[in-house]
């Protein structure tokens, strides 16, 4: 039986024995997510949406295989190390215009996959925007990265975010984690400074029983001691909620200090849990948490909503 380490035990360990990070595996990151979305779509009330997002994630994997963004300059990496900041910080990053062409390629892939008519119209509108008003598209991308939902068309946002995910996942997958600062700001991805979508408790090897937060943008995972609020770092007033009769190993971790929550998935119950996909497929748990007075600490990148 798996033994869960207490907070004190984890803090007393040699931290070099617990991997701090897990960078995305380029060859499978989106393929695994798409497969999980299709599995979760079975008998799910949101089946149509999950299958649409699976097609979008298929497009992400297809485009990622042939894309390579310009790497960070050495000066930027040195500055990040000196100040303990994420080196590929998304907000304020000067994106290469190639990301817009990548978005168009993804939209073509999705539109050709037999999607519902409303989704096809959104794809066509975004393609026109990419060709005719690149400045407006860049402004929308900035708003998506900052989660300024009032400035973004909610139907277009998941597609724009999907392209940005490919851009930063490409960067993260080629990054040398030895260049990461020893200490990073709490609560954000140590690679791109984006917020986590959820967390997973891993099994096997050095990660056994350890909790990792999962970046909503670049797919990096990073270690956080369990029974700690991933939003405000409090260790008191933490509680766990689940749907009665729902799947084992899926809970919402709430904090009575900041009144937020994020979902947490336990691989000992299902080794195929995938943070973005399973978070998207468990919206009834979000409804429960809202009824109990808690707010999401951050949004799911494939479902545009106010956190």
What is the four-CA torsion angle of 144, 150, 152, 153, rounded to 10 degrees? 140
Tell me which long-range contacts 231-235 makes (C-beta under 8 A, separation of at least 24).
231/187, 231/255, 231/258, 231/260, 231/262, 231/297, 232/187, 232/257, 232/258, 232/260, 233/186, 233/187, 234/258, 235/7
* CB contact burial 112-131 (16+ within 10 A = b; e otherwise): ebebeeebbebbeebbebbe
pLDDT band at 285 (very low <50, low <70, confident <90, very high): very high
pLDDT in tens, 51-70: 999 999 999 999 999 999 89
Tokens representing 8 are: 């004190």
**Per-residue confidence (pLDDT) for residue 167, from 0 to 100:** 97
**Per-residue confidence (pLDDT) for residue 224, from 0 to 100:** 96
Tokens representing 270 are: 């299902």
CA atoms 59, 153, 96, 79: torsion sign: negative
pLDDT in tens, 208-257: 999 999 999 999 999 999 999 999 999 999 999 999 988 889 999 999 99
Query: Could you give the CA distance from residue 201 to residue 264 in angstroms, rounded to a whole number?
Result: 7
Are the CB atoms for 120 and 111 separated by under 8 Å? yes
Query: Bigger pLDDT: 225 or 149?
Result: 225
pLDDT band at 12 (very low <50, low <70, confident <90, very high): very low
Report whether pLDDT(3) > 70.
no
Query: Could you give the CA distance from residue 240 to residue 253 in angstroms, rounded to a whole number?
Result: 5
pLDDT band at 305 (very low <50, low <70, confident <90, very high): low
Closest CA to 251 of 235, 269, 237, 236: 269
Q: What number of CA atoms fall less than 13 Å from residue 138's CA on the CB side?
A: 11
Query: Could you give the CA distance from residue 189 to residue 198 in angstroms, rounded to a whole number?
Result: 12
Closest CA to 13 of 208, 204, 198: 208
Tell me the whole-structure pTM to 2 decimals: 0.91
What percentage of residues in the chain have a pLDDT greater than 70? 94
Closest CA to 219 of 74, 31, 75, 71: 31
pLDDT in tens, 185-203: 999 999 999 999 999 999 9
Closest CA to 162 of 124, 218, 211, 111: 218
Tokens representing 116 are: 């519902």
Query: Could you give the CA distance from residue 87 to residue 13 in angstroms, rounded to a whole number?
Result: 27
CA distances 78 to 31, 87, 93, Å, are 33, 8, 16
Closest CA to 54 of 32, 76, 78: 32
């Amino acid at each position: 039986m798996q033994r869960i380490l207490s907070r004190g035990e984890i803090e007393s360990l040699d931290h070099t024995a617990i991997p701090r990070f897990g960078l995305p595996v380029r060859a499978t990151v989106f393929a695994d997510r798409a497969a999980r979305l299709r599995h979760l779509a079975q008998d799910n009330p949101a089946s149509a949406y999950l299958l649409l997002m699976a097609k979008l994630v298929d497009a992400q994997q297809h485009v990622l295989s042939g894309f390579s963004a310009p790497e960070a300059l050495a000066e930027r990496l040195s500055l990040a190390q000196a100040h303990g900041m994420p080196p590929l910080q998304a907000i304020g990053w000067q994106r290469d215009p190639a990301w817009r062409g990548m978005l168009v390629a993804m939209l073509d892939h999705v539109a050709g996959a037999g999607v519902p008519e409303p989704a096809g119209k959104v794809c066509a509108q975004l393609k026109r925007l990419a060709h005719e008003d690149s400045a407006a598209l860049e402004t929308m991308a900035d708003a998506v990265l900052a989660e300024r939902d009032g400035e973004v068309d909610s139907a277009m946002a998941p597609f724009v975010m999907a392209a940005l995910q490919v851009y930063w996942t490409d960067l993260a997958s080629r990054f040398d984690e030895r260049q990461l600062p020893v200490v990073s700001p709490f609560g954000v991805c140590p690679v791109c400074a984006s917020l986590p979508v959820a967390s997973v408790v891993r099994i096997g090897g050095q990660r056994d029983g350890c909790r990792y937060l999962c970046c909503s943008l670049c797919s990096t995972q990073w270690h956080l001691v369990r029974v700690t609020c991933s939003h405000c770092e409090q260790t008191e007033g933490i509680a766990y909620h689940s749907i009665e009769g729902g799947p084992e190993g899926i809970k919402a971790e709430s904090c009575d200090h900041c009144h937020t929550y994020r979902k947490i998935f336990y691989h000992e119950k299902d080794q195929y849990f995938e943070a973005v996909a399973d978070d998207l497929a468990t919206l009834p748990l979000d409804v429960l948490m809202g009824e109990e007075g808690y707010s999401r600490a951050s949004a799911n990148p494939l479902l545009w909503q106010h956190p």
